[in-house]
């Protein structure tokens, strides 16, 4: 959930988004994850939600909207499946950074060349997969660094959040492995 000057309480956010025309608005924990039913394209939902948050709560936060199948494909396409499978590695070390736009190829090459060992990162399209050596708070890579180095907006979610969002959208949740 956005904090500080951009704090947005979930119950009033749900009400404001419903008043703006979105249906079946649900939130997942106090994290800023919102699930809605709409016929609008993701880019339109992003602008609508951004404007509602700015007007009703005073926050200027990036909103990234993705369809349920996108989330399912992100999980299915995780490049770290083999690294986690059969090793006893914990999915709690797996993070998904949703990029607002496709990264510039030159910025992406420079970013990946700088490395982040012992953590690992793979960027596929508009998704950055992060496998932390220990825990995210100790990682050499995080959402702020990704945004700064790639000059774009992003938001990061952990494995459990992504699988929970898939389940909440009524799609079968697949597990890694």
CB atoms within 10 A of CB 123: 19
Task: Give me the DSSP letters along 20-89.
Answer: TT-EEEEEETTTTEEEEE-SS-HHHHHHHHHHHHHHHH----------HHHHHHHHHT-TTHHHHTTTT-
Lowest mean pLDDT, pick from 96-105, 109-118, 166-175: 166-175
Q: What's the domain count of the chain? A: 2
Answer whether residue 39 is part of any domain: yes
* Range(s) of the domain holding residue 145: 68-168
Query: What is the reported pLDDT for 9?
Result: 87
Does residue 47 sit in the same domain as residue 85?
no
In a domain, 20, yes or no: yes
In a domain, 161, yes or no: yes
98 and 160 share one domain: yes
Give pLDDT tens digits for 39-72. Answer: 999 999 999 999 999 999 998 888 999 999 999 9
92 or 89, higher pLDDT = 92
pLDDT at position 22 is 95
The pLDDT value recorded for residue 172 is 43
Please state, in angstroms and rounded to a whole number, the distance separating the CA atoms of residues 130 and 121.
Answer: 5
* 74 and 156 co-located in one domain: yes
- What's the pLDDT band for 6 if we cut at 50, 70, 90? low
Q: What is the reported pLDDT for 8?
A: 82
pLDDT tens for each residue of 128-153: 999 999 899 999 999 999 999 999 99
Of 166, 173, 171, 174, the C-alpha closest to 28 is: 166
């Amino acid at each position: 959930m956005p904090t500080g000057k951009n704090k947005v309480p979930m119950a009033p956010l749900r009400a404001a988004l419903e008043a703006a025309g979105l249906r079946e608005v649900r939130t997942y924990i106090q994290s800023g994850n919102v699930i809605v039913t709409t016929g609008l394209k993701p880019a339109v939902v992003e602008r609508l939600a951004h404007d509602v948050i700015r007007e009703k709560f005073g926050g200027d936060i990036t909103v990234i909207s993705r369809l349920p199948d996108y989330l399912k494909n992100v999980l299915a396409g995780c490049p770290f499946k083999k690294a986690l499978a059969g090793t006893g590695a914990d999915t709690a070390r797996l993070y998904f950074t949703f990029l607002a736009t496709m990264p510039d190829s030159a910025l992406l090459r420079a970013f990946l060349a700088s490395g982040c060992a012992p953590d690992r990162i793979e960027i596929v399209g508009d998704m950055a997969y992060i496998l932390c050596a220990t825990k995210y708070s100790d990682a050499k890579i995080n959402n702020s660094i990704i945004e700064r180095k790639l000059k774009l907006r992003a938001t990061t979610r952990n494995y459990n959040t992504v699988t929970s969002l898939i389940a909440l959208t009524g799609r079968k949740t697949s597990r890694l492995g």
